[in-house]
Chain A
Amino acid sequence: MVNSTSSKANVLMMKKLLIFTLIMFVFGFALVPFYEKFCELTGVNNLLKPDVLTKENRVDESRWVTVEFDANTRGLPWQFRPLQSNAKIHPGKPVDVMYEITNNSDREISGQAIPSYSPRNLEKYLKKFECFCFTKQVLKPNETRQMPVQFVIEPDLPVDIHTVTISYTFFELPGSSSAVKNDR
């Protein structure tokens, strides 16, 4: 027979284990906010990550950077140009620039632009809030369209860089196949 002291010890043990069980039950539910917070902090669940201008964005007034805008077409009869060829800005200051495309042919054509940057590591410091690249553009015969690009070059840009180039090249999309939808 179990004597009373050991039976007391058993009941104490059971109480501890029951409390532990209860804690683990609550822990199961606590995993929900924990999971959400974890995803938020690490950004693993943000499949679309649009760039936004943060409030603490600072402007480096001490230096100037020249941004040159470039536009090309490859294999489609469009005229494509920026409305201004360059801009002189302080890093950190948001920039608006307008591009214009004209379909010079007599057929409807869909095209899509891809960006490229010079110097290559500019992408790290470039935040775009609005852009037409990677988005399908359908132009009727002789249609002209203006498209804005909004971006900021972060002040972290190395100081030895004085001139950067943002270039877009339009390619024709075969048929009416849909292109990748993306804000960038």
Chain B
Amino acid sequence: MAAVHGDAHSHGHDDHHPSGIMRWITTTNHKDIGTMYLWFSFAMFLVGGTLAMGIRAELFQPGIQILEPELFNQFTTLHGLIMVFGAIMPAFVGFANWQVPLMIGAPDMAFARMNNWSFWLLPVAATLLVSSFFVPGGAAAGGWTFYPPLSTQGGLGVDLMIFAVHILGASSIMGSINIITTILNMRAPGMTLMKMPMFVWTWLITAYLLVLVMPVLAGTVTMLLTDRHFGTSFFNAAGGGDPVMFQHIFWFFGHPEVYIMILPSFGIVSEVIPTFSRKPLFGYSSMVYATASIAILSCVVWAHHMFTAGMPTVGQLFFMYATMLIAVPTGVKVFNWTATMWRGSMTFETPMLFAIGFIFLFVIGGFSGVICAIVPIDIQVQDTYYVIAHFHYVLVSGSLFALFAGAYYWIPKWTGRMYNETLGKWHFWLSMFFFNLTFFVQHFLGLAGMPRRIPDYNLQFADFNMVSSIGAFGFGLTQLLFLYVMINCIRSGEKAPQKPWDGATTLEWTHLPTPAPYHSFEKPPVVN
């Protein structure tokens, strides 16, 4: 690399590396890459959030006011794609980059150069996705699940989306290979698998799920692409294909995908709850087995997304029972978190608040999931706001709240500075209030029959929609407070001690100074 070599500004370490923008472009340091992942995902979170604000603004009143139906469909489609592939998933990879080497005592990720590559693919994919709004015909508008025939008929925007998904998939696969290799091969001496922190365990299992299903998604979008441009008929009924088959293949990826987005958050919560309860995690090994069971079960339940697509009763029964079975290992986890808190010396700093909020709201989302799994009910609520409410309870108050918990928990280790506790608590309580205001009422809308992905609605739905929109605007604004708290912390937060949390027991708190040095664990720690 023809770049300026280490000067006084470059983190005062004896190693030399480029400064300025080239430092970030060429970096192979897991901390730099983790930071970039987190900023990237937050930027995408704001983009996807802006789309959500557009959707809720249109739904504020019945009738078409702001977004024409075609543009509304593009908003819902891109909101889903950007939040899933651009915000939640990269954020968890960011946490893995920062935390996995620190928590297992490794000097860096196994393949540092590949790590850099897997990050820098993301802005390319994001550019393709966002720019698709400005091509003729606009962005993909057939829903984030891009079912044919809409996705085989759409314009250039769909092609851009397909390429973006290809690139995001490649990035995820490389990231997963890196994480698996790091965890399996680079643990500090004495760190057996069953001594690994729960966050590392959940990421190991998640990474395996990713290499299992991401290539299938890549195959699916490839088939879509060849159907669109090269005359194949995988999903085109007129050519002997089957559009329902797309749904089967897509959800073979799509259902494990939702666990890919929740398992690492289980990991974060399993770190935060013991720390602030000042007790070790209750039932560690059952947590490991529960995580593995959830991952395995997640691969055999995909068709519960398709109960109305036409399926023999035997199939419906199988997928219904298999889906309900997932509630068992999930229940084990919730039990263990609760038992960890039982008689602990609990304190309620912001990470703990978000973790408890996670448990509380994720359980609501889990229960509405069990309700949706029941075939006769699902036939009623399919494609209604009930489903929207369900998956926002598990994705926003599940994955996103856990990400917030993790960010507040580890930011002192990353920056060496404390965030403002008062503002952090405000962020939590406002998020909690506005989140429920937005999504709880959507259960009622769905049960009353309001369909999703439609820009207009019957007058009977008006009041709840207005409440939901007000909640959404409040939730959106609250996240700017999070941005402020984080920037304030990085720039002028109080200096953090090595171990700001009494109850923390993992390596990054016990063996490393705060902030974590640019190169850590060059000599592996010994774990006993």
Contact = CB atoms under 8 A, between A and B. Distances in A.
Task: Please classify the interface of chain B as helix (H, G, I), strand (E, B), loop, or mixed, using the class held by over half of its residues.
Answer: helix
20 contacts: A2-B186, A6-B185, A10-B110, A14-B111, A17-B176, A20-B211, A21-B214, A24-B212, A27-B219, A28-B218, A28-B219, A29-B219, A31-B248, A31-B249, A31-B252, A32-B234, A35-B249, A36-B245, A44-B312, A45-B242
B312 A13 contact: no
Interface residues of A, number: 26
A36 B241 CA distance: 9
Given A10-B110, A42-B312, 9 more contacts: A1-B107, A13-B110, A14-B177, A17-B211, A22-B215, A25-B215, A28-B249, A35-B242, A36-B242
A45 B243 CA distance: 12
B502 interface: no
Nearest to B314: A42
B107 A28 contact: no
A24 B181 contact: no
Nearest to B110: A10
Nearest to B220: A28
What 5 A-B pairs have minimum CB-CB distances, sorted nearest first?
A28-B219, A24-B215, A25-B215, A28-B216, A13-B181
Contacts of B184: 13
Interface in A1-59: 1-2, 6, 9-10, 13-14, 17-18, 20-29, 31-32, 35-36, 42, 44-45
Given A1-B107, A6-B185, A24-B216, A13 B211 contact: no
Contacts of A9: 185
A24 B173 CA distance: 11
A166 B416 CA distance: 88
A6 B211 contact: no
Contacts of A6: 185-186
A29 B181 contact: no
Interface of A: 1-2, 6, 9-10, 13-14, 17-18, 20-29, 31-32, 35-36, 42, 44-45
Nearest to B218: A25
A6 B249 CA distance: 37
Given A21-B211, A32-B245, A27 B216 contact: yes
Nearest to B182: A10
Interface centre among B108, B185, B223, B522 (most CB of A within 10 A): B185
B180 interface: yes
